[in-house]
A and B are shown apart, each in its own frame.
Chain A
Amino acid sequence: MRSSKQTLLDRLFPMGHAIAQEGLVLRGWGETKQGRVHVIGTTDHAAIDTRIALTLSDAVLKAIAADGSDPRPIVFIADTQGQALSRREELLGLHGYFAHLARCVNLARQQGHRLVTLIDGEAVSGGFLAFGLLADCIVALPGAEVRVMDLRAMARITRIPFERLTELAQISPVFAPGAENYWRMGGIHALWTEAEDWSEQLLVLLQGNPEDERARLGAERGGRMLAAIVAQQVFHAH
């Protein structure tokens, strides 16, 4: 395992952990003061393909089956450059594998597992949507990069020149990559700093409300002023 990931796991679980790397997937458990938690994630900026998605969904299903009526929290470690870009993967229906993974994560929530995501490295687009972004609570570790798409590809799709996009990325929070921007919009619940005790902070996240409150958070923090209001307008419209 990459030494930076090993260091992260040691800091999160000083009481002990047993987490193995299978390809670019991490799976196992960590010990906390509140008991054992499942750990499921990716490493080395994994491009999520059908096999990785299947390994992740398998890990989630096994965690659900193992715990039965005593569901333990699941800590997801998100480190992904996004979905694999490949013609074969598209043919196989990579979107279907991601949807399956999302269903597994949602079943875990329904069964009472607390879901926490820690972004370590990068979290990009589809690879992030399928599991990390579905958690009850999402945290960015120092240096974490969060974004939607490679700017070159974005330039081609939007027909806005690459140079202009690079300029805009410096000034626009709703558009520019960055964990801080996602925090302001309510998409990330907390930003951890290097100096803090991550094992203690993790304990706080292991309880809480599983409701999706990101739109409200985005409005409170001033980064996404319309998401909650417009949804309410539709909800109450005559």
Chain B
Amino acid sequence: MRGLAQSYREALARLRVQALLDPGSFSEWVGPTQRVTSPHLAALEAPVSFDDGVIVGQGLLHAHPVIMIAQEGQFNGGAVGEVHGAKIRGALLRAVRDKPGAVLLCIDSGGVRLHEANAGLIAISEIMRALFAVQEAGIPVIALIGGACGAFGGMGIVARLCDVIIISEEGRIGLSGPEVIETVKGVEEFDSRDRALVWRITGGKIRRTLGEATLLVDDDIAAFRAAAGEMVGARSLFLKKRGLNPTTSSLQTLQAAQQQLGARAELDAEIRDGQVLWSRMGLGDQVSLMSPEQFNRRLEALES
């Protein structure tokens, strides 16, 4: 047994990487000693980071070789700029060549880095294409989401392209952040300061409920490690059991997904709050009290 739980949300990306992988197994590519920083941030006199806010490298997870990509949410909200995006793309292209057991993608990002918005948008598109290439090579990509920035903007799309999404209750996934919606559409549409509401719209439990995430875990790095380890170790078995996103999309699987998403879009207009959905499913107000394990079990029972 480990000692006290180490919060995934509170940890810096470097600590997450160390604690997720087998002790001492991680080696980094183009790390901070190489000081490959963003020239665009420097031009705006904004602070730079020696790793441009993302760590890429290889290591072992329960003795299986994996490629690790971890965004640092505390640097510019984990946002993707030219260098940051190129590091992720390079690691994905390397996965196609090296064929690791899996790619772990620790997303903690608001999306495109606005200081270099054009480069960031193209970079995310390049990441999407590289991610498809990894999946076409038969290598699963596992997203881990539990940082304070969640997975938003283009990185929300990237998250959903992954084969498996492990998320904590505090983790969030979406496209437009609440602040953006509030700024453009007004506080009546989305009050970004109402944290409970934000959680009911984009948080781990609602994402797991809708099938937008695979597994809910505690906000504990060891819990993320155990869940990712289970999937890498028994990946074919796992994908068969929970496979929302088969590694290679076929016409049949995408036609089935089209039906499923179509049915969800038909939900009536009343549904503007996760609570309404939970009430209709008979989960009522118990949701916030349920542990991740209880919640997963309850949903699996409802799904079967």
Which A residues fall within an 8 A CB radius of B? 50-51, 54, 57-58, 61, 64-65, 83, 85-100, 102-104, 106-107, 110-111, 125-126, 128-130, 133-134, 146-150, 152-154, 156-158, 160, 168, 172-176, 181-182, 185-187, 212, 214-215, 218, 224, 226-235, 237
Q: A218-B122, A234-B87 are in contact. List 18 more A-B contacts (CB 8 A).
A: A50-B264, A54-B262, A57-B258, A88-B271, A92-B264, A93-B212, A95-B156, A96-B210, A96-B212, A98-B157, A103-B132, A106-B249, A150-B184, A154-B117, A175-B40, A185-B122, A227-B122, A230-B87
Q: Does B123 contact A (CB under 8 A)?
A: yes
**Which residue, B116, B122, B175, has most C-beta atoms of chain A within 10 A?**
B175
Which residues of A sit under 8 angstroms from B43, Cβ to Cβ? 172
Which residues of A sit under 8 angstroms from B175, Cβ to Cβ? 83, 89-90, 94-95, 98, 126
Residue of A nearest to B39 (CB): A226
Proximity bits, B142-159, A CB within 8 Å = 1, else 0 = 000000000001101111
Which residues of B sit under 8 angstroms from A185, Cβ to Cβ? 118-119, 122
Which residues of B sit under 8 angstroms from A235, Cβ to Cβ? 90, 93-94, 97
Is the CB–CB distance between B161 and A102 below 8 Å? yes
Is the CB–CB distance between B181 and A87 below 8 Å? yes
Contacts known (A103-B161, A157-B114); A134 close to B125, Cβ less than 8 A: yes
Residue of B nearest to A135 (CB): B125
Residue of B nearest to A83 (CB): B175
Q: Does B134 contact A (CB under 8 A)?
A: no
Q: Does B190 contact A (CB under 8 A)?
A: yes
Which residues of B sit under 8 angstroms from A168, Cβ to Cβ? 44
Is the CB–CB distance between B86 and A237 below 8 Å? no
- 7 closest Cβ contacts across the A-B interface? A234-B90, A99-B160, A237-B29, A95-B156, A230-B86, A231-B90, A148-B117
Contacts known (A54-B258, A187-B121, A237-B29); A87 close to B272, Cβ less than 8 A: yes
Is the CB–CB distance between A125 and B121 below 8 Å? yes
Which residues of A sit under 8 angstroms from B269, Cβ to Cβ? 88
Residue of B nearest to A94 (CB): B175
Q: Number of A-B pairs whose CB atoms are under 8 Å?
A: 260
Chain B residues 179-227 with CB under 8 Å of chain A are 179-181, 183-185, 189-190, 201-202, 206-207, 210, 212
Is the CB–CB distance between B122 and A182 below 8 Å? yes
Which residues of A sit under 8 angstroms from B110, Cβ to Cβ? 157
Q: Does B228 contact A (CB under 8 A)?
A: no
Q: List 14 A-B contacts (CB under 8 A).
A: A57-B258, A85-B180, A86-B185, A88-B269, A100-B258, A102-B128, A148-B121, A153-B184, A156-B183, A172-B44, A186-B122, A212-B129, A227-B89, A227-B119
Q: A55 CA to B280 CA in the complex, in Å?
A: 28
Q: A214 CA to B153 CA in the complex, in Å?
A: 21
Is the CB–CB distance between A88 and B272 below 8 Å? yes
Which residues of B sit under 8 angstroms from A154, Cβ to Cβ? 114, 117
Residue of A nearest to B113 (CB): A158
Q: Does B56 contact A (CB under 8 A)?
A: yes
Is the CB–CB distance between A86 and B112 below 8 Å? no
Which residues of B sit under 8 angstroms from A146, Cβ to Cβ? 118
Which B residues fall within an 8 A CB radius of A? 29-30, 34, 36, 39-40, 43-44, 56, 77, 82-83, 85-87, 89-91, 93-94, 97, 110, 112, 114-126, 128-130, 132, 136, 153-154, 156-161, 173-177, 179-181, 183-185, 189-190, 201-202, 206-207, 210, 212, 249-251, 254-255, 257-258, 261-262, 264-265, 267, 269, 271-274, 277
Shortest CB-to-CB span from A146 to chain B, Å, is: 8
Is the CB–CB distance between A233 and B30 below 8 Å? yes
Residue of A nearest to B38 (CB): A226
Q: A234 CA to B87 CA in the complex, in Å?
A: 6
Which residues of B sit under 8 angstroms from A227, Cβ to Cβ? 82, 85-86, 89, 119, 122-123, 126
Q: A96 CA to B212 CA in the complex, in Å?
A: 7
Shortest CB-to-CB span from B292 to chain A, Å, is: 19
Is the CB–CB distance between A237 and B261 below 8 Å? no
Q: A57 CA to B273 CA in the complex, in Å?
A: 26
Which residues of A sit under 8 angstroms from B273, Cβ to Cβ? 91
